Structure 1
Amino acid sequence: DVFFVISGYLITTIIISEMAEGKFSIVNFYERRARRILPALFFVMAACLPFAWLWLTPNDLKDFGQSLVAVSTFSSNILFWWESGYFDTAAELKPLLHTWSLAVEEQYYILFPIFLMLTWRLGIKWVLILLSIAFLISLGVAEWGTQYATHSKIISGAFFLLPTRGWELLIGVFAAFYLKHNTHLKSHAVNQMLSLLGFGMIAYSIIAFDKTTPFPSLYALIPTIGTGLLILCAVPKTLIHKLLSLKFIVGIGLISYSAYLWHQPLLAFARNKVEGDVAELHLIILCITSLLMAWFSWRFVEKPFRNKNQTTRKSIFTFAITGMIIFTLIGIYITQKNGFFDYFIEQNSEITNGDIGHDEFHMYTKENYAPCSDQTIYEKAENWYGLIRCQQSSNNNPTVAVFGDSHAEHLFLGLDAHSDYEYIYLIRGGYPFSEEESHQYLIDYIINNKDIKTVIYSMYWLSNYTFFGEPVFKDKLLNTINLFTNANKNLILVADVPDFRFDAKSCYFVAKFNREKTKCEISFSDFQAQRKYLPLLKTIATDFNLELIDPSALFCDDQKCSMVKDQTILYRDNEHLNIPSSRLVGEFIVRNSTILDKN
């Protein structure tokens, strides 16, 4: 957010100064941007290639290939917005994820000069009126998208896309226009106070905001207005000006762009290599390394390309176009090769069966089952890249509902395969309890459907138990159970399967990473730590005379839990069952349920 404001200010200052003097050239402008951005960016992208080949799984390598194309075409924010979703690869594992903000800037660089060239003749007043309208619309849409929208694509779009980030750039734009036509405030005391306030607003945002803070909502006004105050009021002789003028801070500023480029790839590849969180000492080493690499990039890449005596306009444009074409072609090749999936499969003799990733699972469900017959339920259902996640056994009326979240969904295939009942799965992201907007309409549907006699209730139990805390979790669970039992529904609770904390891809491609079979396992004690909710579930099942089925024995013995059995992988990510294991677990549930087992 601070980055956008500063960028909006600097770029606008350059453009309006030149336009006021009648010497603005869009070719010169794009040349300066190419010199500033592309050499260091291409250098980092090239450095990422060998590590992506060595340390990324084929699925992630394919994603990396797509990101190479998107970064080269200034559209990585659109790619990462489109990829974002329930099952998306964790953000901290994507080497080029941070370039989304650079893409927003690049799109601004393309559009904003053209806007000014078209409206400059109208006069400054009308330019500012039009920009103010754009500011209010952008901020309004951002607030709605982050605070009131419920669709995941709208929420993520508010984060990644220019229309909802534009207002942050425009704060810097307004500061540039103000200082172009006005001087800094005369009062030293006022400048001192406002610059300290601005610095404090930024510091507060860093300390107080976290990943749960909706951005870029009205909350983002705090760091962005704070940055605007620094631009306007951190004049010479103020404390903040003295602080920001320290040689160390100035030095960090010089290499800040390269540091921005290096930090995410270093952290992402480290996390991919260790398959999890990086130790604090290693984080410190990586941060220092990113600064050293940033200095190297600034000294030997950025500076030479910015020097017009060393690099001519023709050379920089040729370099830019060539780099864009090369990285686009590399990215397309990696993507078309599916991350070299087949190549690594040939080298992997440890695992011979089972699907990983979510495409095959959801496609199988779509192709082998009927869509939910209730149109309202179907239209509100989750989807996986256009594959609607609401199916039933056939076009006959369902008699058993599988209810909850994705941890209930992955039971459906196996349950249907091993009993003669008509199943339907009814799931959403969110919290699978009554009085929750995400799930109440599904509960109402089940209760009011006289054909549905049995409900199989499961969820990511630990996540909900941890999020709400036991007292609230218990109340919500009891309220939901009461609704089902009062409607005379048979109720079966299914405990969760192990969460391995590492992706199935890491286990599947044992040969690529020279990994031991233990990389497909967690200790039984680690699994037990995931079952804090189970004593409460057992108590409720006893009190309500409900069936509680725990399928963990299929994966665990008294020493360890494994996601591989008989050379078949049983997970499609770290926590969701694939097709073979859904059948395995479904058979276990049916066999151990007096309600479902007709034999």
Structure 2
Amino acid sequence: MSQFPKMAYRADIDGLRAIAVLGVILFHVNHRWLPGGFVGVDIFFVISGFLITGILANEMACGTFSFARFYLRRVRRILPVFMTVLAATLIFGAVILLPQDFASLLASVRYTLLFVANFYFARERGYFDQAADELPLLHMWSLAVEEQFYFAWPVMLLAIWAIARGVRRAPALPSRASVLWATLALLVLGFVVSEFLVRRGTTQGYYSLASRFGELLVGAFTALAPRDVRRERRGVMEVMAGVGLGMIVAAYVVIDRHTPYPGWRALLPTVGAALVLHANVLSGAPTFVGRALGNVRWVRVGLLSYSLYLWHWPVLAFARYIWGEYELPLNWVLSVLVLTGLLSWLSYRYVEMPTRHRSMSFGRAFAVFYAAPGVLLMAACVITPKWLDTSAPAIELASYGEDVCHGTFDKQCIRGMREATPTVLVTGDSHAASLNAFIDAVGAHEGWAAQVLSASSCSPVFGYDENTLPDFARQPCAALKRYVQANYEKFDAIVLVSYWAFQLNMIDLKADPDYLEKLGNTLRTMARVRPVYVVSDVPRLPVSSFRLAHFEHLGLRLHRPSAAQTAAANAIVERLAKSIDNVHWVDLSPELAKFEQGGLYRDRPAYLDDQHLNIYGASALGQLWIANDKRLIVTFPHISSQ
């Protein structure tokens, strides 16, 4: 009798799959719902290592192992739905994505087809980066890791088998213990490497097979471990299963996206999954946890888990791409879940099941399920970019000015009546820089020139702590602060423009924590000698204006609420400005209300990104201001108020 008996079907494993996939989906829908839900992927790794190693060990022990037969099962199990999802994602992406974003999708498809998507996404960005939420194939990194494991582990296990036989100097089967100890040594090495990569702080620490190999071997070790099926050990097995499930639940709660991961912390969900798998080997008498996981409701979800995993992320990514924000409205979330469930059932019923047990040779299966669709998809990825217009937009749409004094004083700093001596100082962060064209139009109309000086993230109020800013912004901010403090009295008026929500610490990025107090002190100091004009910030768009224009062309017009932080921050600064004599609040909102969908003007993008006007948008804002017969500067001695 083989030391490695053949595994029978276990309903509890499908139940465990359900726990894993639901955790992943809940986390991906909203990470606040289940902070550690992403560790469901690690549970999948353990299950894969467990099942694959069980099959390999049994066939190697019986002398029936064949690479062709092993990979035939993998091809039939994985590739049909995989190719279906890739094709559907590519087709929908061709319609909904901007050319530059579609070109990025095509690149990710190429890497995904070769099962090296983890390398592609590791070099691009981190898994938890905000922009990553809109990448339709990001989740394919885990499938790439599993496929790489399927190529590496059978060879390694055969090598372990051969070495163990050689040590025993006998043609007989190697002892189960020798294979088990060798697997444990590799498992420990895998977690050491994983922790090393995590401590280095690179994205490889999350995506690579090297950092996940130990997790897959947790499943392998569990499959190779001796199975005690004695009835008198039932109590021990019950405790083991309960502890294992508790570890999984704990991982879902105590681990979150800020936790350095995977490394040794991945032991919590993976060992938990291993305990559940090992505890339920009692033939005909599963534990309480095993019976619960084997409930028909959990099993049905588990049977769909592969399709659910493949479909849920593209549906979510496209929804976020269209809506424009990470957090989707409740009706969108419900639609995403329903669509994911429907697509998963259809692909399971009409793609996955008909092909999984279909009788065919490895060569034919490889040609039908991989080579033919792979060549077609790869051809689309190679040929399509030649038809895409990925050229940069016109400079007036793609910039707020290349010749502006932003972070430097040696470019074109004078706006308005450029031939005149500047009598107005306009200063602030990048939101001030994005109003250069507005100042040009308004200054020329009102008959004055302005010196426009700005620096990234920097609102140059007196005492501003630039050390809270990113490294690249600190030195330019310090220089701008010094200039403003030394020279503001040389001008007849001062105009302050800033990203108020950022400066007031109302978004995730950090700025000076005492900013509001320092702004008030600066306004009072300046206003004693010169009139000061504080300008309202432009709304932050939920979707870039380039996407809005693209969606408008597709007839896809949605009502999206503007960022609440913009209005709240404007209100705070407005109250402060109006409370100080000789400080004037400049409200741009009536003119900005003329922009279609918040970010378009006459069907053209008015923003460079989601928060900065481009040259075209700032110029249009200036013309709207003038058309409304309004003045920006009203207190020059030589200008009479209208």
Matched, 1:425 2:466: no
* TM-score, scaled to structure 2: 0.67
1:470-485 to 2 correspondences below 5 Å: 475-478=513-516
2:193 to 117, 137, 151: 137
- Select 1:298's aligned residue among 335, 348, 353: 348
Which position in structure 1 is the counterpart of 2:613? Answer: 577
Question: In the alignment, what sits opposite 2:221?
Answer: 177
Partners of 1:257 and 1:86 in 2: CA distance: 20
What are the within-5 Å matches in structure 2 for residues 371-382 of structure 1?
none
Secondary structure in structure 2 of the residue aligned to 1:572: coil
State the distance in 1 between where 2:67 and 2:90 align: 33
Mapped contact 2:126–2:132 kept (Cα < 8 A): no
TM-superposed deviation, 1:6: 1.9
Q: What CA distance in whole angstroms lies between the structure 1 residues aligned with 2:185 and 2:124?
A: 36
What does the per-residue CA deviation read over 1:424-483, in whole Å, with 9 as the maximum and x for residues that have no partner?
63449xxx97386544784466447896336967336169644589xx988431576599
Give the whole-Å Cα distance in 2 for the aligned partners of 1:121 and 1:133.
21
Contact 2:237 2:279 in 1 (8 A): yes
CA deviation vs aligned residue, 1:328-351 (integer Å, no higher than 9, x gap): 11123333333x679xx9xxxxxx
SS class of match (1:530): helix
Distance 1:239-1:354 versus aligned 2 partners, 3 A rule:
farther
Deviation at 1:42, TM superposition (A): 0.8
Alpha-carbon spacing, 1:511–1:468, altered in 2? closer, same or farther (3 Å): closer
Give unpaired runs (5+ residues) of structure 1: 146-153, 346-351, 371-389
Q: Which residue of 1 aligns with 2:302?
A: 253
Q: After the TM superposition, which of the residue ranges 40-49 and 281-290 deviates more from structure 2? A: 281-290
Shift of the 445–593 alpha-carbon distance from structure 1 to 2, 3 Å rule, reads farther
Q: Deviations over 1:273-292 (max 9, x none)?
A: 66666654564455344334
1:556 aligned residue (593, 608, 628): 593
Q: Distance in 2 between matches of 1:45 and 1:241?
A: 35
Contact 1:67–1:331 (CA under 8 A) maintained in structure 2: no
Aligned mates of 1:533, 1:369 — CA distance in 2: 26
Structure 1 residue 189, shift from structure 2 partner:
2.6
Which residue is 2:499 aligned to?
Answer: 459
Q: Which moved more, 1:205-214 or 1:478-487?
A: 478-487
The residue number in structure 1 matching 2:365 is 316
Superposed displacement of residue 504, structure 1: 1.8
Equivalent pair of 1:494/1:550 in contact (CA under 8 Å): yes
CA shift digits 1:154-189 (9 cap, x unpaired): 3x554444444x1xx423413422541422586333
1:382 is aligned to: none
Aligned residues of 1:100 and 1:160 also touching (Cα < 8 A) = yes
Partner of 1:230: 276
- 1:77 corresponds to: 118
Q: 1:161 to 1:479 in 2, by over 3 A?
A: farther
Q: Which moved more, 1:250-259 or 1:284-293?
A: 284-293
Select the residue among 530, 534, 540 that pairs with 2:570. 534
For residues 445 and 286 of structure 1, the distance between their equivalents in structure 2, rounded to whole angstroms, comes to 45
Of the candidates 389, 392, 398, which is equivalent to residue 408 of structure 2?
392
Give the TM-score of the pair, scaled to structure 1: 0.71
Q: Is the 8 A contact 2:468 2:512 kept in 1?
A: no
User: Structure 1 vs Structure 2: percent identity of aligned residues?
Assistant: 26
Cα deviation code 1:13-50 (max 9, x no counterpart): 33444455565444443333222211111122233344
Segments of structure 2 that go 5 or more residues without pairing to the other structure are 1-41, 165-178, 415-424, 444-448, 489-495, 626-630
Please tell me the residue identity of whatever aligns with 2:375: I
For 2:305, give the aligned amino acid: S
How many residues matched?
539
Partner of 1:150: none
**297-306 vs 81-90, greater mean Cα deviation:** 81-90
CA 1:253–1:543 in structure 2 vs 1: closer, same or farther (change >3 Å)?
same
- 1:369 Cα deviation from its structure 2 partner: 7.6
**How far did 1:582 drift?**
5.2
Q: In 2, are the aligned partners of 1:407 and 1:460 still within 8 Å (CA)?
A: no
Q: Is the radius of gyration larger for structure 1 or structure 2?
A: 2
Q: Give the drift of 1:244.
A: 1.6
- Aligned mates of 1:8, 1:433 — CA distance in 2: 55
Contact in 1 for aligned 2:238/2:288 (Cα 8 Å): yes
Residue 55 in 1 paired to residue 101 in 2?
Answer: no
Output the amino acid matched with 2:455: Y
8 Å contact 1:459–1:496 — kept in the other structure? Answer: yes
Closer/same/farther in 2, CA of residues 204 and 592 from structure 1, 3 Å limit: farther
Structure 1 residue 203 corresponds to structure 2 residue 244 = no
Say whether the 8 Å CA contact 1:171–1:228 is kept in structure 2. Answer: no
Residue 66 of structure 1 contacts residue 335 of structure 1 at CA under 8 Å; is this kept in 2?
no
User: The residue matched to 2:115 in structure 1 has which SS?
Assistant: coil
| In structure 1, C-alpha distance between the alignment counterparts of 2:182 and 2:100, rounded to whole Å | 50
Show the counterpart of 2:27: none
User: For 2:61 and 2:524, how far apart are their aligned partners in 1?
Assistant: 75
Distance (Å, rounded) in 2 between the aligned partners of 1:253 and 1:522: 36
* Alignment partners' CA distance in 2, 1:496 and 1:245: 57
Task: Name the CA distance, whole Å, in 1 between partners of 2:500 and 2:204.
Answer: 26
Distance apart, 1:191 and its partner CA: 2.3
1:137 counterpart letter in structure 2: V
Map 1:486-505 to 2 at 5 A. Answer: 495-505=536-546
